[in-house]
Amino acid sequence: MLNPTTVLVIEDDTSLVETIRLYIEREQMGCLTANNGSDGIGILQRYRPDLVILDIMLPDFSGFELCQQVRSAQCFVPILMLTARVQESDRIQGLTVGADDYLTKPFSAKELIARIKSLLRRNYQKGYCDVKRGRGVLIDFECHQAYFN
């Protein structure tokens, strides 16, 4: 049986990934993981998770770049940056490129889960639907509708 809510964790620290996975699964949510940005993009496109937790310092490219790439593709999945980069300039950059929230390491499990739930709640209240556009066609996968120009 599929979990109603799925979180994708893109983080290269495998022990941290497993810890986060435990926190998420305790809340009856599913958890997908990727240890680099390339795999993360593939999982995001294939499984369309409800939320992404994204590290900035990934082995193949930065979380800033990945976030910007996701947003430029008109994907509005909530993104929570979870990183050791604590400078104000990093937090501002993360939010500017499209992150919805920014949490620094170390963090508490309770705060992480509270932020995840808050982002999911706001996202569902907005009535977000997965929408793709191209060649005069707009497809809304979540709402099961298509529009032609």
Cis peptide before 59 (omega within 30 of 0): no
Using one digit for the tens of pLDDT, what is the confidence trace for 27-75?
A: 999 999 999 999 999 999 999 999 999 999 999 999 999 999 999 988 9
Query: Can you tell me the distance from the alpha carbon of 120 to that of 140, in angstroms, rounded to the nearest whole number?
Result: 19
What kind of architecture, by CATH, is found in domain 6-148?
3-Layer(aba) Sandwich (3.40)
| Domain coordinates in residue numbering, the chain | 6-148
| Burial (CB count within 10 angstroms: exposed 0-12, middle 13-18, buried 19+), residue 21 | middle
Q: Quote the pTM value.
A: 0.82
Using one digit for the tens of pLDDT, what is the confidence trace for 90-139?
A: 999 999 999 999 999 999 999 999 999 999 998 865 444 455 555 555 55
